[in-house]
Amino acid sequence: MISLGQAPQGVAYVPNAVQGDGMQNLQPLGAAAKSVQLTLAGQDAKPVTQVTLFDQGIVQILQAAVTGLPPKQPYVLALSDDPKGTGHLEALAGFMSNPAGAAIVNTVGPIRQITQGDGTTPKRYLVIARGTPAQIGEPVQMQVQP
């Protein structure tokens, strides 16, 4: 695997596959070139987690660079209907923090529309909570509002 791009899936090489100058059928990235940055902060309000939403049209690829957690503990990246992280939490992805209290969390969905409250969708907020998707505990990091 060669690391390249925002979320590499793999690279294939086919000898002599390109005809001419290789520019036919190429087009700008369009929606895939857009991204949204969000920040989550701990109880002390210090920003510790960076979230990037890579637009893929209707859905986005969410990649969270999580830091500031106790090591080797289960957590859930979730959506809350309250900016303080209280109320109903809907799990997006479960993960385990590494020995440094960090993790990279990935998921896919219409997350930008939900976190911005586009259209008829009520605004929701990203949180990191203790626990697992089956048993979500209290929030430890909440989305910082711009």
- Nearest Cα neighbor of 111 from 67, 74, 64, 49 is 64
pLDDT at 41: 93
pLDDT at residue 3, rounded to an integer: 45
Look at residue 13 in the predicted model and tell me its pLDDT.
66
CB neighbours of residue 83 within 10 Å: 15
Query: What is the reported pLDDT for 143?
Result: 92
CA distance 5 to 19: 24
User: Which structural domains are found in the chain, ordered by start?
Assistant: 30-143 (2.60.40.200)
Among 66, 40, 49, 59, residue whose Cα is nearest residue 112: 59
- DSSP H or E stretch at residue 79: strand 74-80
Distance (Å, whole) CA 127 – CA 10: 31
pLDDT number for residue 1: 39
Tens-digit pLDDT string for the chain (146 aa): 344 455 555 556 677 777 777 777 666 666 556 778 889 999 888 888 999 888 877 778 889 999 999 999 999 999 998 888 888 999 999 999 999 999 999 988 877 777 776 667 778 899 999 999 999 999 999 999 76
| Measured distance CA(74)–CA(117) in Å, rounded | 29
Q: How far apart are CA 119 and CA 131, in angstroms?
A: 32
**Euclidean distance between the first and final Cα of the chain, in Å?**
37
